Amino acid sequence: MTTERTAVITGATSDRGIGMTVAQRYAREGWAVVILDLDGEKSAKVAADIGNQFAVPAFGHTIDVTSEDSVTAAYDAVAAEVAAGSLPPVGALANIAGITSPVPFLETTLELWNTVMAVNATGTYLVTKAFLPDMIEHGWGRIVNMSSVSAQRGGGVFGKVPYSSAKAAILGFTKALAREIADTGVTVNAVTPGAVDTNIRVGSTPEKEAKLAADIPIGRVASTEEIAAVITFLSSQDAGYLTGTTVDINGGSHIH
């Protein structure tokens, strides 16, 4: 298998997270992968494990997506690997890193609001801005941003006002950037999962999870693999005429 492009995934070290499944799916489809997460040591281990399992080049590095300096350092580390020939050029970026906020609005603080906006929305902005120029230079690229059905429904899943607001910002960011760079060969799309079987819903209970599933027309939450399949499709050659789109993956919980 010839690996021609690298996929960069943020937020990909959680064993039950969407990001790790996305990284594994990219690797299974022949992409080299870069794992970027807060824990640099774990990022390197996850990358090594995926690289060994799927026989593709892989690299892990620390990143704090809320810090421009940290994002720049992560980009520089990846660029050095590309320059050295250890990785092929970056062809896809999956902005997965995020946090939720199951706090009623009147109990939120400005600190919580700023943190949720910084990780979800500002992080997507900073990482995209760092990796986009190289994609434009190569005339080919795929950016997939993680939003949420909460942005479309106004919550109603688990995250509340700050989370829904941040994920809505990502939808506007996706559409505006897609329009601005449409003639460069780089596409920008978003996915809006509903409830997914991950560990992001900290503080939930079996009773809440059962009610959540019962409220979904399909009758269950999504698997991380189902989300990853859409993200890797949007990163494929076949998806080249899709840009500025929002792909709903919610089991019918929001139909519009």
Would you state the pLDDT for residue 240?
Answer: 97
Q: b/e per residue, 51-65, with b = 16+ CB within 10 A? A: beebebbbbbbbbbb
Task: Identify any residues that bridge with 230 across adjacent strands, giving them in sequence order.
Answer: none
Which amino acids are annotated catalytic?
163
pTM (two decimals):
0.94
Would you state the pLDDT for residue 92?
Answer: 98
Reduce the DSSP state of residue 4 to 3 states and report it.
coil
Would you state the pLDDT for residue 203?
Answer: 52
Would you state the pLDDT for residue 158?
Answer: 73
CA distance 164 to 222: 19
Would you state the pLDDT for residue 1?
Answer: 42
Burial of 243 (0-12, 13-18, 19+ CB in 10 A): buried
| Cβ(222)–Cβ(195) below 8 Å | yes
| Cβ(94)–Cβ(7) below 8 Å | yes
Q: Apex CA 243: angle with CA 192 and CA 59, to 5°?
A: 75
Residues of the chain below pLDDT 70: 1-3, 156, 199-206, 208-209
